[in-house]
Amino acid sequence: MSLPASLRDRLRLPLIAAPMFLVSGPALVTAACRSGVIGSFPTANCRTVDELDVWLAGMADDARRAADADGRAPAPWCPNLIVHRSNPRVPDDLAAVLRHKAEIVITSVGSPEPVMKPLKDAGCLVLADVASVRHAEKAVAAGVDGLVLLTAGAGGQTGWANPFAFVRAVRQFWDGIVVMAGGMADGHAVAAAQALGCDLAYMGTKFIATRESLSKDAYKEMLVASRLDDVLLTRAFTGLETNMLRPSIAAAGLDPDNLPVRGGIDISKDINAAERDRPDARRWKDIWSAGHSVSGVTDVPSVAQLVERTAAEYEAARLSVKRV
């Protein structure tokens, strides 16, 4: 295990509730942390830096209250910085994250190098999203503490690599923290990721269908009703390979089997408040993503209930391996 003991001892499960655009908010994050898994969220989910300050202050206050009540610190909360040069808020979001003393930060969509020094100077653990061995090597060279391997089957903008091959390829040159993202349907999958050589796993789709998530009730209900065959890989909505729910595409009046290579608006630009208010933007926002793990979504529990179930599945998987 590459995780620092000071972090590992605060986790009930080696799990991160994945940062999900327009889904992960303060209620989901704090519930995850109190349940013993790392709660993460994209800073882009906040319309303004002032709102981000409010969110971060609330998460920090909740962590202190939880520690006072339980006598031990909960799992850490974790902002996700979109570091691509097209995001003008990177400097301000970074400053907010530093003000509130985040323990862990995940960087996405670009090299983490521009934010590494201030984060490391603040004592922050830095994880970087990567979708290829080449990008993993570049992130390691930039000085990250961990790699989030985006593999085939992740919801939203997804990876292409087989998770078994990707993890083992990265472990040939990297002994730091490895997180597997993509296809985590239950605690059995989390245990399998750990056996493969990962320190942590991402779980996203199942956290969308929790009571605390920001997603619409109709979205949660669609996840419960859907299965793996309802997930479609397409470039039509973002210009990048993205896993979307066929029923939501059909509900928007489109044929899932006859989509253009690129159409509509780029929903990644929905960070901009003006984009949110456009009629066509509202239409595309109701085309929803899901990962290959969607077959595992059977109801809409609380975050605490989901973590409890996942922990029981994880322990059962570990016990079954020991018996072999």
Report the pLDDT value the prediction gives residue 323, as an integer from 0 to 100: 67
Strands (DSSP E) found in the chain: 15-17, 38-42, 77-82, 104-108, 125-130, 146-150, 156-157, 177-181, 200-203, 231-234, 242-245
Pairing of strands 177-181, 77-82: unpaired
Report the pLDDT value the prediction gives residue 264, as an integer from 0 to 100: 42
Band the pLDDT of 262: cuts 50, 70, 90. low
Mean pLDDT value across residues 211-229:
97
Mean pLDDT value across residues 191-219:
96
Domain coordinates in residue numbering, the chain: 5-213, 217-293
Mean pLDDT value across residues 33-61:
96
Interval 27-40: pLDDT, tens: 999 999 999 999 99
> pTM of whole model > 0.85?
yes
Query: Which residue pairs from 118-124 have beta carbons closer than 8 angstroms and sit at least 24 positions apart in sequence?
Result: 118/94, 119/94, 122/98, 124/97, 124/98
Percent of the chain with pLDDT over 70: 91
| CATH level 3 topology of 5-213 | TIM Barrel (3.20.20)
